[in-house]
Amino acid sequence: MTLSLKEREHGFTIVELLIVIVVLIGLGYLVLSNASAIRQKQRNQTRQNDLKAMQLQIETYYSKYGYYPSLDNLNNAKWRMTHMKYLDSSTLVDPLSKCQPDTSSCLGGQNKAVPHQYEYYATQSDGTTSCNGKLPDGSDADQDCAKYKLITAYEGKVNGSKIGILENRD
């Protein structure tokens, strides 16, 4: 008894299965790479929003007191609760950071972008002299904060730039 060609063809060949597997892997790669790009874009948007929220609170503080807060002040949870109660502490933390702003100093104080950390660079009116701590005459330098920069490092580029900077409004 011989089987006809139609009766012998049942199931898939190895080549057909390999083609399907390769196609599925390619589609999976496309989906994952697009999802990764979307998450990166969302984190960069969060960074921009966080800096704007901080700037709003810092400028509001300036309007009330006539000087900008120091880095030490912004990193102090008790000080923030008293002077910037509308500033959510999570706003001080980069989306990829594990820092806990209620127990740690999450804002850095450098005049450059640092990956996964926001920077708050506050200075006296000359733009270079720190306004943290005490002045040589013993007075509080915090009340001399006349300028600041908020800086973040983006993942990739946003509007053609790898960093975001917001400065005091003159």
Element (H, E) at 161: strand 161-167
Residue ranges of domains in the chain:
15-167
> What predicted TM-score, i.e. pTM, was given to this entire model?
0.78
Instruction: Single out the residue of 90, 143, 150 nearest to residue 120, CA to CA.
Output: 150
- pLDDT for the residue numbered 130: 81
Contact yes or no for 167/62 (Cβ under 8 A): no
Q: Which of 20-24, 79-83, 111-115, 137-141 has the lowest mean pLDDT?
A: 137-141
Instruction: Please determine, for residue 1, whether its predicted confidence score (pLDDT) is greater than 60.
Output: no
Instruction: Please determine, for residue 110, whether its predicted confidence score (pLDDT) is greater than 80.
Output: yes
- pLDDT for the residue numbered 122: 92
What's the rounded Cα separation, in Å, for the pair 42 and 15? Answer: 41
pLDDT tens-digit map of 131-168: 876 556 655 666 788 999 999 999 999 999 999 999 99
- pLDDT for the residue numbered 30: 80
DSSP letter, residue 116: T
Q: Cβ–Cβ contacts within 10 Å for residue 158, how many? A: 16
Q: How far apart, in Å, are the Cα atoms of 41 and each of 27, 52, 132?
A: 21, 17, 34
What does the mean pLDDT of the chain come to? 87
- pLDDT for the residue numbered 36: 84
Q: What pLDDT band is residue 28 in, cutting at 50, 70 and 90?
A: confident
Instruction: Please determine, for residue 47, whether its predicted confidence score (pLDDT) is greater than 90.
Output: yes
